[in-house]
Amino acid sequence: MTDLTRLLAHEMTDRLRAGEITSRALTEAHLDAAEAGNHALNAWLTIDRERALVEADAADVRLASPVGAADAHPLLGVPVALKDLVSVKGGQCTAGSRILEGYLAPYDAHITERLRAVGAVILGKTNMDEFAMGSSNEHSAYGPVANPWDLETVPGGSSGGSAVAVAAYHAPLSIGTDTGGSIRQPAALTGIVGIKPTYGRVSRYGIVAFASSLDQIGPFARDVRDAAALLHAVAGRDERDSTSASVPVPDELLHLPASDDEAAAGLRGKRLGLPREYFVAGMDPDSRRRIEESVAALEGAGATVEEVSLPHTDYGLATYYIVAPAEASANLARYDGVRFGPRLGDSDVLRNYLATRGRGFGPEVKRRIMLGTYALSAGYYDAFYVKAQKVRTLIKRDFDDLFERGFDALVAPTSPTTAFQFGAKMADPVAMYLSDACTLPVNMAGLPGISIPCGLSEGMPVGLQLIGPAWSELELFRLSRGFEALTSAAQWRGQEPTQLDLTTDPAQPTPAERAQALAQH
Ligand code: GLN
């Protein structure tokens, strides 16, 4: 009997359609894995066995009816995990914050509706940095998440729980959000695939907002084809999010080449740019070697790779940390203890407000609200916010120029380093912010970017980032599938996270306990 949790989503689809397995069996296997591994990983904030099994049984009924299964979406009956900022009617939605503890979502997010419509099974909600602010998942009010490759290291953030759920075989697929790197960076650090789609590709209706002009929803998966299928299920225009675009979602997302030869052949003649500014100072040399080897492999398959420049890259971090906190300070004003979550204090309105926000928000969120409020204040608006928006346009133009010159995509590192130890960057917010130096500009420009595994450095996963013009997700998936095919025989490909075995041992410390022990050293 094969372990059902080791199957890729498309293998699950094949077996479900062939009647070899049921969605109930698949769902149970994943719920068991999630429950067994959560003590040591803390990837989940809720595991909803009851609801998941009801959905699995409903999927099995559809699969059994000949009309139901014939042209159903491939995700029918396949388990999925959602980051805990996606609304699921009647379920908790903490966004990793105390201020939303006990709040129950009154409606389904657009993507939840879409997942229900295709018959995917929602297993539960995953841990995350509070309000998606962070690059390590150490800013969750519900404790850090551990990386199954080394339990003393972070999985990246802010969608660390969703990345670990997939990397540790608790779910074949999960949903994250990416405002400045929060899908791609944790995908890189845990050795899986993650894509931030073009701004406007996926509706943000029902998603807790961080920075509305940057936030995008996207998939995590263990291979490229699975990520494409999940994007296909959730993407598309939704009237309730005015920024969601009416650009058609190509059905070819469901038909990426299965054959490695065909996939690799698709790389021939592709023109790729290698932006020199993405090899940032402080980049770990061995991660850099993995990227260089990947570039050589792409060239070997017939792609041309030219060094290019994105001259305003250096301003990405500074402008992001004006724009994102400014938008966050406005979005988070709604958490006043009246409309959402618990109300603290039993005094007048102002004191209750201060008590609720004072105790409800963690330190990183408060830092962002202060930065954002400052940047938007009357005397500084032009000097900071308006200027940052202008620089944002320059960052976008850098990309536009290259795509107008005919580049199919840009190749770059996803993260300057592999996963770091708990506590390593907690005392220095700027060091933490630098984790996203290679991903932030892509959000500033609204473009799609994917991270795919490209090898190991000292035993830890390294991610390769591909960045494309707006709406080029299909092309990015084809290129990524080509790279996956080229490296299908690589020794690191089949390797499971090295400390996965420890994660099911109840005697292991929790990630919070590990982080505390490291802090005491
Ligand atoms: N790490 C970045 C931040 O803290 C990006 C987070 C994200 O993409 N949600 O803002």
The residue extents of the domains of the chain are: 4-256+271-314+392-520
Q: How far apart are the first and last CA of the chain?
A: 45
**Centroid of ligand 1 to alpha carbon of 129 (angstroms):** 9
CA 84 to chain centre: 12
CB of 131 closer than 6 A to ligand 1? no
Neighbours of 342 (CB within 10 A): 14
Q: Which of 86, 130, 182 to mutate to test the pocket of ligand 1 (most atoms within 8 A of CB)?
A: 182
Concerning whether 158 is annotated as a catalytic residue, the answer is yes
Class of domain 4-256+271-314+392-520: alpha beta
Q: Hey, what amino acid is at 305?
A: V
CB of 180 closer than 6 A to ligand 1? yes
Angle at the Cα of 60 (from 176 to 49), degrees rounded to 5?
50
Q: Which of 128, 133, 317 to mutate to test the pocket of ligand 1 (most atoms within 8 A of CB)?
A: 133
Residue given tokens 């492999």 in the structure block: 297
Concerning whether 182 is annotated as a catalytic residue, the answer is yes
- Distance, CA of 244 to CA of 200 (rounded, Å): 4
- Is residue 239 within 8 A of residue 276, CB to CB? The reply is no
CB of 472 closer than 6 A to ligand 1? no
Concerning whether 136 is annotated as a catalytic residue, the answer is no
Active-site annotation holder among 159, 182, 415, 435: 182
Supply 401's token pair.
Answer: 């120029």
Angle at the Cα of 504 (from 498 to 509), degrees rounded to 5?
90
Ligand 1 atom nearest to CA at 179: 8
Supply 399's token pair.
Answer: 């990309």
Residue-wise DSSP of 453-518: EEEEETTEEEEEEEE-STT-HHHHHHHHHHHHHHTTT-TTTTPPPTTTGGGG-TTSPPHHHHHHHH
The answer to pTM > 0.95 is yes
**520 burial type by CB count under 10 A (0-12 exposed, 13-18 middle, 19+ buried):** exposed
CB of 138 closer than 6 A to ligand 1? no
- Distance, CA of 161 to CA of 165 (rounded, Å): 6
Supply 299's token pair.
Answer: 């060239």
CB of 161 closer than 6 A to ligand 1? no
Residue-wise DSSP of 214-249: T-EEEEEESSHHHHHHHHHHH-S--TT-TTS-----
**254 burial type by CB count under 10 A (0-12 exposed, 13-18 middle, 19+ buried):** middle
Nearest to 469 by CA among 405, 391, 388: 405
CB of 443 closer than 6 A to ligand 1? no
Neighbours of 305 (CB within 10 A): 18
Say how many CA atoms lie within 13 Å of 236 toward its Cβ.
Answer: 14
Angle at the Cα of 436 (from 156 to 313), degrees rounded to 5?
165
**Parallel, antiparallel, or unpaired for β 271-275 and 304-308?**
parallel
Radius of gyration of the CA atoms of the chain, in A: 22
- Distance, CA of 77 to CA of 75 (rounded, Å): 6
- Distance, CA of 161 to CA of 144 (rounded, Å): 9
What phi and psi values does residue 308 have, to the nearest 5 degrees?
-135, 175
- Distance, CA of 247 to CA of 520 (rounded, Å): 52
Which H or E element spans position 193? strand 193-196
Ordered per-residue pLDDT tens for the chain, 521 residues: 469 999 999 999 999 999 999 999 999 999 999 999 999 999 999 999 999 999 999 999 999 987 767 789 999 999 999 999 999 999 999 999 999 999 999 999 999 999 999 999 999 999 999 999 999 999 999 999 999 999 999 999 999 999 999 999 999 999 999 999 999 999 999 999 999 999 999 999 999 999 999 999 999 999 999 999 999 999 999 999 999 999 999 999 999 999 999 999 999 999 999 999 999 778 999 999 999 999 999 999 999 999 999 999 999 999 999 999 999 999 999 999 888 888 888 888 999 999 999 999 999 999 999 999 999 998 899 999 999 999 999 999 999 999 999 999 999 999 999 999 999 999 998 889 989 999 999 999 999 999 999 999 999 999 999 999 999 999 999 999 999 999 999 999 989 999 999 999 999 999 999 999 999 98
Residue given tokens 């090899």 in the structure block: 279
CB of 365 closer than 6 A to ligand 1? no
Active-site annotation holder among 158, 174, 244, 435: 158
